[in-house]
Amino acid sequence: MQFQDLGLAEPILKALTSKNYTTPTPIQAQAIPPLLEGRDLCGVAQTGTGKTAAFALPSLDYFDKNPKPRPLNSSRMLVLSPTRELAAQIAQSFRDYARFMRISVETVFGGVPINKQIRKLQGGVDVLVATPGRLLDLIEQRAFNLGGVEIFVLDEADQMMDMGFIVPLKRIVKMLPKERQNLFFSATMPREIEDLGKQFLNDPVKVSVAPQSTTAERVQQYASFVNQKEKQALLTQTVREEPIDRALIFTRTKHGADRVVRFLAGAKIEAVAIHGNKSQAQRTTALQAFRQGKVKLLVATDIAARGIDVSGVSHVINFELPNVPEQYVHRIGRTARAGADGIAISFVADDERAYLRSIERITKVKCEIVPLPDNFAEMVRNLPKAAPKSNGAQNNRGGAPSGGRGRGGGRPERGGERQRHRGDGQRSDRGHRGGSEGRGEHAPGGDRSERPQRNGGEGRPFRPRKKAVGAHKGAVQKFKR
């Protein structure tokens, strides 16, 4: 079967030809025909199987055959995504497929100024790709409504549930028009996800292109048993000896990701981190450097990794095993793409052995156990110290520099963590009143050697005042002058 056999509109076929796409993937071949008929769909497919095109192509065909004015402060199609990276990736795919059509595509997610997003949505859009938290922010501010939605897509439903988006999802679904087409995609289909789909799907066509929790056949899987405190030494040795083209290193926490990067930097090994505490600009820059091969090592948490679709990833290293077995499948699926081979290496601490057993049980694959190097104890003793924290290493809500919220910065995605800095000279988000709006920000990293800047200008050196009656009051008056 070829794309030309599916009956898609000519502008779409022209765009596919320009990208040298001729043959649909299994998920596309099974999903596109019923979607062209207007049916609801429930699809089970791993990331990287081509499911974005599976729902984008028939939707664009619908727009071509049913032209309508864009609804003000609304969209004709809504795609919900769990992460910023995946939302941006989906939007770019829509733009590529609609390059010969007059279709507007916008994204909204946290970590960037909300006012700019509000202005883009005022005239209405054809396709909106959004994360749940920021979408609800826009709705609550009456800057957007769901009254014009004709096609609704819920992508990566299992990760949505893992990230705690189940309540926001239900709120959003209740606001959608009753007459609409629904598309539901998930990499796995446990009972909770199936029950969620039943709440808004109407007599759906069910499509599954791979058995649940199937790992990539071309991935060689290895595991080493090592104490948690000694994992960094093993990682440093591994990245030095392995023939790595690009490697994704997974940690369970954001702090752990930053710590791994600093220890690698101390060993003169370049790596970058991507996680929920990074600003959107930092995440985009890090991902772009990794995609272009400028940086070979990308350290990520699961919450940020689902949208990473990078060819040429030769290794996936599980610095810490996920406590959800299905997440392991998503992780190692980042390698062995497009017909290439891949290697997955897991560092297993004593308290993670149960995780490994659960992973092997659902994947039906036994990892090959690799013993520690003979001189490993010496490697641990000689491990270089971690590089010091950079001033901009830790970011608060919306990616503003530490100490306050950036001007116009967005709120974090709902369900995420509120980070508080303690013991390192930084104030917590809640403790810093007023943010940067009209008062300036503390120097990045919590350094109080400078006064708060006035309207973004240069700060003056801090000079401690002698204790005197009314000193604090005078300081406030001078600051407001």
Whether the CB-CB separation of 52 and 306 falls below 8 Å is answered with no
CA–CA dist 90, 53 (Å, integer): 9
Helix (H, G, I), strand (E, B) or coil at 347: strand
Whether the CB-CB separation of 460 and 451 falls below 8 Å is answered with yes
What is the structure's pLDDT at 456? 40
Domains and CATH numbers, the chain: 3-208 (3.40.50.300), 219-381 (3.40.50.300)
Maximum Cα–Cα distance across the chain: 85
What is the structure's pLDDT at 440? 36
CA–CA dist 300, 257 (Å, integer): 6
What is the structure's pLDDT at 339? 58
Give the tokens for residue 291: 């995609």
What is the structure's pLDDT at 329? 82
CA–CA dist 95, 111 (Å, integer): 22
What is the structure's pLDDT at 227? 96
CA–CA dist 387, 390 (Å, integer): 9
What is the structure's pLDDT at 458? 41
CA–CA dist 426, 429 (Å, integer): 9
CA–CA dist 143, 72 (Å, integer): 10
The amino acid that residue 213 corresponds to is S
Residues contacting 215, CB < 8 A, separation 6+: 221, 329, 332, 333, 363, 365
Backbone angles phi, psi at 344, to 5 degrees: -120, 125
What is the structure's pLDDT at 363? 85
**Pairing state of beta strands 219-225 and 181-186?**
unpaired
Give the tokens for residue 428: 């917590």
Whether the CB-CB separation of 456 and 440 falls below 8 Å is answered with yes
Please list the pLDDT of the chain residue by residue as tens digits (481 residues). 899 999 999 999 999 999 999 999 899 999 999 999 999 999 987 766 788 999 999 999 999 999 999 999 999 999 999 888 889 889 999 999 999 999 999 999 988 899 999 999 999 999 999 999 999 999 999 999 999 999 999 998 888 887 778 889 989 999 999 999 999 998 777 777 888 888 889 999 999 886 655 666 678 999 999 999 999 999 999 999 999 999 999 999 999 999 999 999 999 999 999 987 888 788 889 988 998 899 999 999 987 666 567 778 999 999 999 988 878 888 888 887 655 678 999 999 999 999 999 999 988 899 999 999 999 999 999 999 999 987 654 444 333 333 333 333 333 444 443 333 333 333 333 333 333 333 333 333 333 333 334 444 444 455 555 444 444 444 444 444 4
DSSP for 137-177, please give it.
HHHHTTS--STT-SEEEE-SHHHHHHTT-HHHHHHHHHHS-
Helix (H, G, I), strand (E, B) or coil at 261: helix
Helix (H, G, I), strand (E, B) or coil at 80: strand
What is the structure's pLDDT at 420? 36
